[in-house]
Structure 1
Amino acid sequence: MNNVVAEMLLTTPAPAAIWATLWILTLPAMLLLASPRAMRNPWQTLRETVGWLRDRTEERRELALEAIAATQFAEEVRVAADRAALAADRWQERWEQTTDEVTDAWQAWLDADARLRTRRAGAVFGTPWSAQTPTEYAARERFLHKAVRTAADQGWLPAAAVADALAGRAGWDARLHPLEQELVVLRAAAGHLRDHYERAVAAEQSAAHDAELARRTRDSLRQESWTATARAAELRHHLPAELTTAEPATKRALAAAWR
């Protein structure tokens, strides 16, 4: 019989609430009957009992508030940890991307330097004089413009180099022989690709730093989330009954009402 009553009280909340209410209501009478001192001064005993009940109620309220705060904090830290994990993945992908860009930039620079060295080897035989007639000048100008545009299309030179060559500025000289113009283009391309490689290295180092920082933030928040979740679990039995099964939005509203 005792087991049946106990099971009913544990599984059905209504009888348990009724039993608790009856117990609280009969407690003063039980204390009066159980204590000779209470029989001599019942009003003093009753005041002390009421004070004890008030303290007990306040203590339960404080524990409930602490449990609510711990539960909310655990949820907030969990969300922050999930977001930090996503951010860490994105920074890792960015770092891997910059690593590939460094490899490509390094190879492009090596290829440009090899083309330049090959052209320099051929330049030891010298080049003809600069253009002497308008026809020669026009032909060399067309060659220069085409060579610069081709280099820019292949990524060896920046797009701005085309505009500079068309305007005859930034060192582009249409009077030079095509062989010498080709050497100038290859030299400019090697310098541009070297600068591109150095920028890629700096970007890769920055991305590596950011990825490491993101990983540390993720790991720190994960640890804090585990600790907060364990603390919330310890205090869970102090939560008001209506908060244990409510939806997240409802929980926030009920938690605010409890305060």
Structure 2
Amino acid sequence: MNFLSQALMADPTTPMVIWMVLMLAALPALALLSSPEAIRDPGAALMASLGALRRYRAERDRARRQAVEATRFADEMQVAAVQADDAAQRWQDLWRQAAEHADGAWQDWQDAEQQVTRARAAAAFGPPWAARTPTEYVDRERFLHRAVRAAVQRGDLPSTALADALAARGGWDPRLHPVEQELVLLRAVADHRQRRYRRVATTERTARHDVRLAVAARDSLRHETSVAASAAAPLRRYLPPAPRPARDLQPA
């Protein structure tokens, strides 16, 4: 391989430099051939040719800048669209989980209401008779405390319910018969589950709203990405060529 071939392969700008030198050398001849006026005033013709060359280079540079900006914007929009798609997917997953929790809380509430209905029907005939002795009242109080403590441990009542039961406040009456206490307990459990369902339902509605916003943002970015890609496509041919890796010169 001779030296000229090695130089051309090592530096991709060398052919452009050679081409520009040849064009400048040929300008006078081209000017004379293209216009009779150039024969009378070759200097003006040469200046006009140089001006045309400068305008061409300026227009080429402007087109390259537009192509670079449009391509960069299209690439950035593509990245933003991918991120928006991922965000929308995450919000949909969160909403799906919130909806499942809301369904479960609703069913738990309805189950508790059914237990209240059955207990109320069983207590319609009144509690069985029992002697009202100090021992009986102690047993009733212990029954209430055990039942409330178990409900708190299951998560069917808030932790404050046990303190209220121990202090005989908040609707807890240790003097009631265990049948009546069971009805009070089931009613409290149903009310607690209802409040929990309402909190979970509020969370589900918020998640659903966030999903709608995320999907709208995703769709908007997809549209803008498509518009940016369409605008950049015809300009890509003006992009400057990517630099090729330099090669070590090898002797022929």
Structure 2 gaps of 5+ residues are 1-7, 246-252
Counterpart-to-counterpart distance in 2, 1:145 and 1:24:
103
Deviating more after overlay: 89-98 vs 227-236: 227-236
Tell me: CA distance 1:69–1:127, structure 2 relative to 1, closer, same or farther (3 Å).
same
SS at match of 2:101: helix
Shift of 1:32: 2.7
Normalising by structure 2, report the TM-score: 0.81
Q: Larger C-alpha radius of gyration, 1 or 2?
A: 2
Q: Count residues with an aligned counterpart.
A: 235
Counterpart-to-counterpart distance in 1, 2:98 and 2:160:
24
What's the counterpart of residue 159 of structure 1? 159
- Asked if 1:147 corresponds to 2:161, the answer is no
What's the counterpart of residue 191 of structure 1? 191
Report the aligned-residue RMSD.
2.8
What's the counterpart of residue 26 of structure 1? 25
Shift of 1:120: 0.7
Deviating more after overlay: 78-87 vs 209-218: 209-218
Counterpart-to-counterpart distance in 2, 1:27 and 1:188:
101
Amino acid at match of 1:207: A
What's the counterpart of residue 235 of structure 1? 235
Amino acid at match of 1:163: A
Amino acid at match of 1:26: A
Do the aligned residues in 2 keep the contact of 1:112 with 1:190 (CA within 8 Å)? yes
Shift of 1:100: 1.3
Counterpart-to-counterpart distance in 1, 2:133 and 2:97:
52
Do the aligned residues in 2 keep the contact of 1:131 with 1:176 (CA within 8 Å)? no
Counterpart-to-counterpart distance in 2, 1:135 and 1:209:
58
What's the counterpart of residue 219 of structure 2? 219
RCO greater where, 1 or 2, for CA within 8 Å and sep 6 or more? 2
SS at match of 1:242: coil
Deviating more after overlay: 41-50 vs 97-106: 41-50
Q: Where does 1:76-225 land on structure 2 (aligned, <5 Å)?
A: 76-127=76-127, 135-225=135-225
- Asked if 1:47 corresponds to 2:47, the answer is yes
Tell me: CA distance 1:160–1:78, structure 2 relative to 1, closer, same or farther (3 Å).
farther
Give aligned-pair identity as a percent: 47
Counterpart-to-counterpart distance in 2, 1:134 and 1:24:
120
Deviating more after overlay: 111-120 vs 94-103: 94-103
The structure richer in helix per residue is 1
Amino acid at match of 1:61: D
Counterpart-to-counterpart distance in 2, 1:168 and 1:63:
85
SS at match of 2:109: helix
SS at match of 2:242: helix
Amino acid at match of 1:24: M
Counterpart-to-counterpart distance in 2, 1:27 and 1:192:
94
Counterpart-to-counterpart distance in 1, 2:54 and 2:130:
106
Amino acid at match of 2:63: L
Structure 1 gaps of 5+ residues are 1-8, 247-259
Counterpart-to-counterpart distance in 2, 1:98 and 1:176:
40
